[in-house]
A and B are shown apart, each in its own frame.
Chain A
Amino acid sequence: FSAEDEINLLVIVVDVNPIWWGQQAQREPELTLSKCLDAVMVLGNSHMAMTRTNKLAVIASHCQDSHFLYPNKNWRGGDNGGEDASSSGDGKYELLSVANNLIAEEIRNVMTKKVEGRQTFLLSSLIMLSNWHGVSYRYLLMLPFLFSVGQEIKSRILVVKAAEDCARQYMNFMNVIFAAQKQNILIDACVLDSDSGLLQQACDITGGLYLKIPQKIALAQYLLWVFLPDSEQRSQLVLPPPAHVDYRAACFCHRNLIEIGYVCSVCLSIFCNFSPICTTCETAFKIQLPQMVKPKKKKLKQST
């Protein structure tokens, strides 16, 4: 069983939140969504060029849903690639040019289609990172059946994140993280703007790398340097050390991160202050208070 038979799958999930990218284009025009996609494409091409058996998948994560950019329904795969691909004329490996064209075409479709009104115009900018995790995970689960029996697939997910976290998907997210951990799927994260606690946890638990890049215009360099090597190769390289992850829990009453708190023994909800009744399950608790010392009564001398 040589390393050549092993299939390494890289799934790149790109956050294409239009609101963030639109604002970003006005803030810092050096890195636009186009440039970001170019960098992602470079990484994808490099990955496929490393070994013949490497596979790639690219998913765009939009506001409320995600789309497979590659492979997509237009991809016929295999030998038909040559006919469909408009040749790039630069002698590029055909698989790469096919992939690039497909990605470009699909992202154009995704970004230009009319977005549903009620979904997009939220007053807050906390647009969630949609169902990217669900989609990619389901994809990964299907993989063993897509390829021939007996081939091992090692997969990892790279998330390129732009906008902030949304807390609403927390439970799903954690389930996906643990499922990935069980399946030995690494989750890496390349964060462009604000740190994401959830992704930090995902990387810590699955053994991946979390990196918040200081210079957005050098995105391609960071991607190639840090995220191109797979997990075996990473052990031979000197890469940024894992960051300290804040695993503190948040209290149920105020959502403050606390280090020491009170936990209800019935429903396991966490509080920052003691209260005799748990507000989640309405269990009453008794705590022994220190005994009050009764003051001694002084005898009063009676005057005759």
Chain B
Amino acid sequence: MYLFSMASLSEEVLLVVKKVRQRKQDGTLYLMAERIAWGPEGKDRFTVSHLYADIRCQKISPDGKAKIQLQLILHTGESTTFHFSNESSALKDRDAAKELLQQLLPKFKKKANKELEEKNRMLQEDPVLFQLYKDLVVSQVISADEFWANRLGDMNNSDPTPYNNKQDVGISGAFLADIRPQTDGCNGLRYNLTADIIESIFRTYPAVKQKYGENVPHNLTEKEFWTRFFQSHYFHRDRINTGTQDIFSECAKQDEKGLKSMVVQGVKNPLVDLLSLEDKTLDEGYGVSTTTPSTSNANRTVKESSNAAIIKRFNHHSAMVLAAGSRKGQAAQMGTRGILTSSSLLLNPFFSLAIEYEDLQRENRLKTVALNLKKSDRYAHGPVPLQSQHYTTSQDIINSVNHIRHEMVNYKPNLTQVLSSTAASSAITALSPGGVLMMTGTQQAINQMIPTEVQGELKHLYAAAGELLRHFWSCFPVNSPFLEEKVMKMKTNLERFQMTKLCPFQEKIQRQYLSTNLTGHLEEMLQTAYSKFHVWQTRRMLRKT
């Protein structure tokens, strides 16, 4: 907060509210053009002053509460609360202040820094990155700029994110049906029109829009126009054209013309043959009667003509909806009214997908190079190293074979003398827990001896050290002053990391888990980096002298 003399106010004051308490002190609230301020009673300076740009949002106390309050929350997280204490008009005052703020705040809202948002998003989405950030930047091992240096690189070059592109909202085919009139009790109907429905009607039926433009607001009010619209036969199912009193009868005529022209134009899509569709009759009851319906009005029965009229209306409505949807963007590409013209067909990838079948075409094999193995017996040998062969003379072999033959020629199993008890008990000892053969088990359990939190910490250390080392090693070869500076900075960063993170961790595990050496490899990596730095530094000194 800063002190501001009221006498030197050059800003316009929009609202003054007396009897507003802040921090249990009576005072007056001032809403000005660019800031909101509060001064204690009797003093002539402001003790609280906030620019609208700094305010993130406002909050009000709920209606039932005795204390009527307004709270301002700043971007920094701080908040200020004002208590409206005028017995008669506290609620009115508070609401007046709130309304004014509601109008003013959006104007000054700081456009959230896009980069900041992106960074926050990245940190939230990737917990590993977040941990790395905490380990390195928050504990001030490296600066935030260095941390983000490599990561935000593509952000400025790429196109704005796809979710900025807005898609046009289409028209629901049932928008007219959705209006759903309700009876209002005395033989009338209530139609609920929303702005969306009105827009749909205008987009689908440009004739209606034209009429609207002509008649409203000169001749009719909006309400009257829509009332007439719903009353006219134009809207209803049976469009029997009554007298020309109806302003919409022209629309009906226009629609007829439009429909005729659409039929004449036809659909120029070679994959669709609309003309071959017709009602086929199998027998009585399985379709339309045998006489083909004539188009002249005289021969039609009343029912037939009303059916035909409804069908015509449905078709027209659907065609208008589709036309309205495709009118906006794609008219240029696809020809009028979304119909594929023959010239655009060949370019359309979907067309080629529809008429071509991969497996029916001639196979285009990629030219390959045959594998040419000169010494393929190497594979058969396998990873068994040639062992030292101990030499046996042929005489030895003959002797052994004869001996065995001699032994086995009279072999009789002697199953009662297979095992002596001493041999058995020594074997059992070797096989019991703690015996000779059971010892290898304990060596494998290092990940069971160290608790998971320590393992987790070790993982974080590795991630942080890896990041720092990556920055360090990427500086080599050092061939610019920027890299020189960076490599020296990274070395100090590494040393700082070792001191602040690695050594305490080592001490901790030494206190608790004596024998295991968990950080040996990390130290080795750091040592390698230090020695490389040392070598580079001495070389640099030599070059200079």
Contacts and interface: CB of A to CB of B under 8 A. Distances in A.
B544 to A, nearest CB: 15
Contact of B373 (A221, A238, A281): A281
Given A165-B384, A214-B430, A266-B371, 15 more contacts: A19-B397, A22-B402, A25-B403, A26-B403, A33-B408, A100-B413, A111-B409, A124-B391, A165-B387, A218-B424, A218-B427, A221-B427, A240-B438, A248-B383, A280-B378
Interface stretch (A36-44, A132-140, A144-152): A36-44
Contact of B423 (A37, A126, A171, A217): A217
A218, A244, A269: residue with the most chain B Cβ atoms closer than 10 Å: A218
B427 A267 contact: no
A18 B400 contact: yes
A256 interface: yes
B411 A108 contact: yes
B474 to A, nearest CB: 16
A38 B420 CA distance: 13
A121 B399 CA distance: 11
B411 A34 contact: yes
A112 B406 CA distance: 8
Contacts of A18: 400-401, 404-405
17 contacts: A22-B402, A23-B400, A34-B414, A42-B418, A103-B413, A123-B394, A126-B389, A170-B382, A217-B420, A218-B427, A222-B427, A241-B444, A243-B440, A257-B385, A267-B373, A279-B375, A282-B372
Interface string B143-174: 00000000000000000000000000000000
Contacts of A112: 405, 408-409
A25 B404 CA distance: 8
Interface in B426-440: 426-428, 430-431, 433, 436-438, 440
A179 interface: no
Interface in B459-490: none
A255 B409 CA distance: 42
B407, B413, B420: residue with the most chain A Cβ atoms closer than 10 Å: B413
Interface in A1-51: 18-23, 25-26, 32-35, 37-39, 41-42, 45
Interface of B: 371-376, 378-387, 389-392, 394, 396-405, 407-415, 417-420, 423-424, 426-428, 430-431, 433, 436-438, 440-441, 444
Given A108-B411, A225-B431, A243-B440, A38 B378 contact: no
Contacts, number: 186
Interface in A205-259: 211, 213-215, 217-218, 220-222, 225-226, 238-241, 243-244, 248-250, 252, 255-257
B376, B415, B438: residue with the most chain A Cβ atoms closer than 10 Å: B415
A282 B376 CA distance: 12
A33 B401 CA distance: 12
B389 A124 contact: yes
Contacts of B430: 214-215
Contacts of A168: 381
A243 B392 CA distance: 31
A19, A221, A238, A240: residue with the most chain B Cβ atoms closer than 10 Å: A221
Q: Across chains A and B, which 8 residue pairs bring their CB atoms closest together, nearest first?
A: A22-B400, A170-B382, A218-B427, A111-B408, A241-B441, A221-B427, A250-B383, A218-B423
Contacts of B413: 37-38, 41, 100, 103-104
A35 B440 contact: no
Contact of A255 (B381, B394, B440, B444): B381
Given A38-B418, A222-B431, A214 B384 contact: no
Contact of B431 (A20, A121, A240): A240
Interface in A93-120: 100, 103-104, 107-108, 111-112, 115, 120
Contacts of A35: 418
Contact residue range for chain A? 35 or more
B433 A238 contact: yes
B389 A125 contact: yes
B401 A120 contact: yes
A38 B391 contact: no
A158 to B, nearest CB: 16
A34 to B, nearest CB: 5
A223 B359 CA distance: 60
Nearest to A164: B387
A208 to B, nearest CB: 16
Contacts of A281: 371-374
Contacts of A225: 427-428, 431
Given A249-B383, A257-B385, A282 B374 contact: yes
Contacts of A125: 389-392
B423 A215 contact: yes
Given A21-B400, A257-B385, A267-B371, A42 B415 contact: yes
A115 B401 contact: yes
A167 interface: yes
Interface in A31-80: 32-35, 37-39, 41-42, 45
A267 B374 CA distance: 11
